[in-house]
Structure 1
Amino acid sequence: MKKISKRLKQAKELLIKKVYSIDESLELIKQTATAKFIESVEAHVCLNIDPKYANQQLRTSLILPKGNGKTSRLAVLISEDKIKEEYKNQVEIIGSMDLIEKITQGEINFDILISSPEMMPKLAKLGRILGPKGLMPSPKSGTVTDNIELTIEEFKKGKIEYKADKMGIVHLIFGKTNFSISDLKENLLSVYKSLEQNKPSGVKGKYFNNFYICNSMGPSIEINLSDLKDL
């Protein structure tokens, strides 16, 4: 049996209820952030979906109004004749067939891969490499686009991708523990609204099962779903 650290045990003792309001839960996020580094603030949302069915899959993106506090390394895959000098100044990696060759060899030095549509057929063979890492570009997540400049700008501003895993759970980071409570709240509500707006067409009945938040090293805190729906 895994031993619980003294720090985590003390953090769990602060949780005296099963569910909390948004404001209460964010206060607890601050109180339980006792690690020696600035922790990420995560949302883990259990949805009433079965992703094995095409009409119950969820993969999309949203722009967090306050960003998520993480600097993502962007890579752009585009045909050689469309590479612009300004793109090189905005992203960490840009390339065409040379970038595909690097990925083939296992050089994946980026967190997000943006691709123009004409490069996707050439990238298809790398699905077995990029897919498991969640790095395969997709129109649904906004990473397959003709408007490279706007897409780069959006991801720099705090655009994030998310999808439901095979159990129907969405995991994402929506801030850092050094964010103000008001900034965390604004981001959290954006997450909830995005999930609501992108509800898969095949969902019948209840959509949200549970909505939890936590910091990187702290306990899970369940948010009262009615509190979210009322805002």
Structure 2
Amino acid sequence: MGKVGKRIVAARESFAGKEDLTVEEAVSLIKANAKTKFDETVEIAMNLGVDPRHADQMVRGVVGLPNGTGKDVRVAVFARGPKADEAKEAGADIVGAEDLMETVQGGKIDFDRCIATPDMMPIVGRLGKVLGPRNLMPNPKVGTVTMDVADAVKAAKGGEVQFKAEKAGVVHAGVGKVSFDEGKLVENVRAFVDAVAKAKPTGAKGTYIKKVSLSSSMGPGVTVALDSATGN
């Protein structure tokens, strides 16, 4: 265990008995205990009162974090002709059509976001079993199936975050880096929570947002008071 063990023990001691903190308190605690040699991601997890197996309870959306994510997002675009050129000019890392499909089918997925023009969906559709489980399948509901590929690429590169409820009704995402100013992290957290709140599905009954937790990539988690997370 060595130094890593001591770091984890110390962090757990710092977090012990602390729960339902304000967003500000939680962010401060996480920053103070993130002592790895790399810039850890600040992660949020939201437990929702939904069952995503039912179509009217699926939670899905996208949010542009006001201060970005601090992550270098690699973007792949399925497009041809002028739209492919637009994607490249906007900063897309990978652009292609059938050739890109074959690359993905071969097991090489070297990107974090996938965008497609509508005419490419018959090709992209063949990749559902590969891209779907990784939450990379282009979807018009979150703006990744679009003719405005340049705007979509810039948004992805600029701090836009997609979210989707998993089987247990949990939504999670990275909302910045521990090196961020505390105020900027707080803004990002509240922007994310607000977006998930606005994405409440019609089939959700009872309490929608049950729990909000924050952590760093390698650190313990802490619960955040719901009224602080939602800004109410």
TM normalised by structure 1 equals 0.93
Give yes or no for the alignment of 1:189 onto 2:190. yes
Worse-superposed segment, 56-65 or 133-142? 133-142
Q: Partner amino acid for 2:10?
A: Q
Does the 8 Å contact 1:141/1:162 carry over to 2? no
- The separation in 2 between residues aligned to 1:230 and 1:184, in whole angstroms, is 14
**2:87 aligns to what?**
87
Does the 8 Å contact 2:189/2:229 carry over to 1? no
Are residues 82 and 31 of structure 1, via their aligned partners in 2, closer, same or farther at CA, if it must alter by over 3 Å?
closer
CA drift of 1:221 comes to 0.7
**1:161 aligns to what?**
162
**2:13 aligns to what?**
13
**2:153 aligns to what?**
152
**How many residues are treated as equivalent by the alignment?**
227
**1:104 aligns to what?**
105
CA drift of 1:37 comes to 1.3
Deviations 1:123-161 (CA, angstroms, capped at 9, x unpaired): 112111111222111112221111111111111211111
- The separation in 2 between residues aligned to 1:210 and 1:69, in whole angstroms, is 25
Q: Partner amino acid for 2:179?
A: N
CA drift of 1:87 comes to 2.7
Q: Partner amino acid for 1:25?
A: A
- The separation in 1 between residues aligned to 2:82 and 2:27, in whole angstroms, is 48
CA drift of 1:107 comes to 2.4
Within 5 Å, give how 1:57-136 maps onto structure 2.
57-80=58-81, 82-84=83-85, 86-89=86-89, 90-136=91-137
Does the 8 Å contact 2:190/2:230 carry over to 1? no
- The separation in 1 between residues aligned to 2:230 and 2:128, in whole angstroms, is 38
- The separation in 1 between residues aligned to 2:228 and 2:212, in whole angstroms, is 11
- The separation in 1 between residues aligned to 2:166 and 2:34, in whole angstroms, is 27
Q: Partner amino acid for 1:51?
A: P
Q: Partner amino acid for 1:202?
A: G
Gaps of 5+ in 2: none
**1:226 aligns to what?**
227
SS at match of 1:83: helix
CA drift of 1:81 comes to 5.3
**2:172 aligns to what?**
171
Deviations 1:75-129 (CA, angstroms, capped at 9, x unpaired): 1101345322x53241111112221122222222111110011111221121111
Gaps of 5+ in 1: none
CA drift of 1:68 comes to 0.7
Q: Partner amino acid for 2:104?
A: I
- The separation in 2 between residues aligned to 1:59 and 1:135, in whole angstroms, is 13
Query: Runs in 1 of length 4+ with deviation above 3 angstroms?
Result: none
- The separation in 1 between residues aligned to 2:96 and 2:72, in whole angstroms, is 21
Worse-superposed segment, 4-13 or 29-38? 4-13
Within 5 Å, give how 1:196-207 maps onto structure 2.
196-207=197-208
**1:40 aligns to what?**
41
Q: Partner amino acid for 1:5?
A: G
